[in-house]
Structure 1
Amino acid sequence: MPYKTILVHVDQSHQTATRIDLALQLAAADGAHLIGAASTGISAFLHQHVGDAGAPSLAPYLDILRQRADAALAQFEQQVRRANATSFELRRIDDEAAPGISLSASFCDLAILGQTDPGQANQLLGPDFPEYVAIHSGCPVLIVPYAGAFASVGAHVLVGWNGSLEARRAVRDALPLLRRARTVELAVFNPRQQDDAHGQQAGADIALHLARHGVAVSVREEAGNGDVGEALLSLAADSGADLLVMGCYGHARLREVLLGGTTRTVLQAMTVPVLMAH
């Protein structure tokens, strides 16, 4: 199923223009409606139960937050009009970023977000903004690194496969991109340690499933005792991948949050766009 509604999160960060450009490319490929969404960061509770009239001392601060969101939406509108996009909308969300964007994304086919930039603190987003949206929206998220230029995405795709429910969802949600890709490589790490997640031959079943969708996949089995996230990113760089597809967390999310894990490693050190699903 093609992406027919794509949401892109916009703010005043330096990477916003890159996100919008990628969103325009994907929207054009599938004839999708494009939503530029900016959050004011104003708590929904504050907005609904206090309001500007009930808290005059907060009014100047609330106005500043709304002006920032409107400025980000103005940049979005300029870019999409220059690209002659015909189906788009501006959406200012009076809510905290994580729950507000998650709610809007829950009615979309794809959400495009930015990687958290540790050198550009954004108190309105929080450090776990991308994974929060991935987990709570039910929508696949395409996360764009805060550094680097990405003229296109999805020509050479690397899939991180471990047989989990999250990985299966990520592959299914990435199908519009996988069908258009020139090469798709599926990497399976230490499959013998996960016998219950694979059939007789690791990666064979998902490769056959993708082949029936017109996606030609090459499967490679990787062994190692190190961090799988680091190994995935290294493999993506070595293979020239311009997109990494993987699941976001698993049933042991708490353990990953506490100890690190593949998802956290990739989100912190990613150098190519990553499509994640939970």
Structure 2
Amino acid sequence: MNYRSILIYVSDAADLEQRIKLAAHLASRARTTVIGLAITGISRFMSRLLSLSGETIVEDAPASAHTPEQKGHREKLRLDMTEALERFTMLARVNGIATIQQLQVDDDAASALSHYGNAADLIILGKSELRRTARREESDFVEFVALNAAAPVFVINEKPFLWRHALIAWNSSSVASRATRNAIPILQDVDVVSAVIFGDGTAPGTHGPALEEDIKQCLTALAKPINIIRRPATPDVGHALLALAGELDADLIVMGCVAHPRWRSTLLGGTTGVVIAESQVSLLLSR
């Protein structure tokens, strides 16, 4: 099982080479197309208006969009993304990626990644370019992409991913099963794979507890032993999962993402939001 199309979020972030090395490792087993997506952050609506108007004022465009400062800012954003794509292509070739594509789009990053990620098998992004934002904004960005793109999302974090130990958050939900299956192309090259079940692993809306046989069946294609870990039920699964990852010295957490109302997450602290915001370990997220 392999990913045939991998989408990398291209920016001037320091971890761009890490993203490319991960894609190169995964692409080495198959004829995988690696796509670099550079995003200017310019509104699609504004970009379309200015393109149609030839940068002249039209009735629907805000006057501030046509100032020399704003025009210069847009040109700089596009130039920066062009340079980032050139660096992406150079690094991809150095790392042995044979099939490379470039995309540069005007849009906000979360929407563009979600849209173009629908045609990919895996999205790779990092959090380093988000360090200047508040933790909630950073978590919202990653969670939005994971919940809205069809492809699973690999988030590179501070702790290097060295293919040593992956920890799967398992329960009785179809989301957990889907995330685990989506991770198989990565898990097959990881030295140790563990799965944790908190309490009986019964997920909301399901009819029974999580069974060890189910995860073993889900990972039959791995042909390697799976360490099943049982932990007591807790109302704070997010922090318990992060603590266990630290105990195991895991360098990857695999988990499913479930959509929920924002007010509920704010009051109760959604597991996904906690893990995204506080994890030092790389994540594989899937809805």
Shorter-chain TM-score bucket reads 0.7 to 0.9
Map 1:75-224 onto structure 2 (within 5 A).
75-115=87-127, 119-121=131-133, 128-145=140-157, 147-150=158-161, 152-153=162-163, 155-191=164-200, 194=203, 197=206, 202-211=211-220, 214-224=223-233
The answer to whether the Cα contact below 8 Å between 2:172 and 2:210 also exists between their aligned partners in 1 is no
Map 1:223-262 onto structure 2 (within 5 A).
223-225=232-234, 227-251=236-260, 254-262=263-271
Matched with 1:54 is 56
Distance (Å, rounded) in 1 between the aligned partners of 2:131 and 2:95: 31
Q: Deviations over 1:76-118 (max 9, x none)?
A: 1121121232111121112111111211111000000113666
Matched with 1:65 is 77
Q: 1:117 to 1:261 in 2, by over 3 A?
A: farther
Matched with 1:275 is 284
SS at match of 2:101: strand
Distance (Å, rounded) in 1 between the aligned partners of 2:202 and 2:71: 57
Q: 1:178 to 1:47 in 2, by over 3 A?
A: same
Once the two structures are TM-superposed, the CA of residue 69 in structure 1 deviates from its matched residue by 1.2
Distance (Å, rounded) in 2 between the aligned partners of 1:98 and 1:246: 20
For structure 2, the residue ranges without an aligned partner over 5 or more in a row are 58-65
Normalising by structure 1, report the TM-score.
0.87
Q: 1:110 to 1:200 in 2, by over 3 A?
A: closer
Once the two structures are TM-superposed, the CA of residue 54 in structure 1 deviates from its matched residue by 2.9
Q: 1:83 to 1:199 in 2, by over 3 A?
A: same
Q: 1:98 to 1:256 in 2, by over 3 A?
A: same
Q: Which has the larger radius of gyration?
A: 2
SS at match of 2:188: helix
Once the two structures are TM-superposed, the CA of residue 161 in structure 1 deviates from its matched residue by 0.8
SS at match of 1:163: coil
Matched with 1:10 is 10
Counterpart AA for 2:37: A
**Percent identity over the alignment?**
33
Counterpart AA for 2:55: A
Counterpart AA for 1:170: A
SS at match of 1:186: strand
Once the two structures are TM-superposed, the CA of residue 48 in structure 1 deviates from its matched residue by 1.3
The answer to whether the Cα contact below 8 Å between 2:202 and 2:210 also exists between their aligned partners in 1 is no
Q: What is the count of residue pairs matched by the alignment?
A: 273
The answer to whether the Cα contact below 8 Å between 1:114 and 1:130 also exists between their aligned partners in 2 is no
The answer to whether the Cα contact below 8 Å between 1:186 and 1:203 also exists between their aligned partners in 2 is no
SS at match of 2:285: strand
SS at match of 2:143: helix
Aligned-residue CA RMSD (Å): 2.6
Distance (Å, rounded) in 1 between the aligned partners of 2:279 and 2:266: 17
Are 2:25 and 1:25 aligned?
Answer: yes
Distance (Å, rounded) in 2 between the aligned partners of 1:131 and 1:195: 20
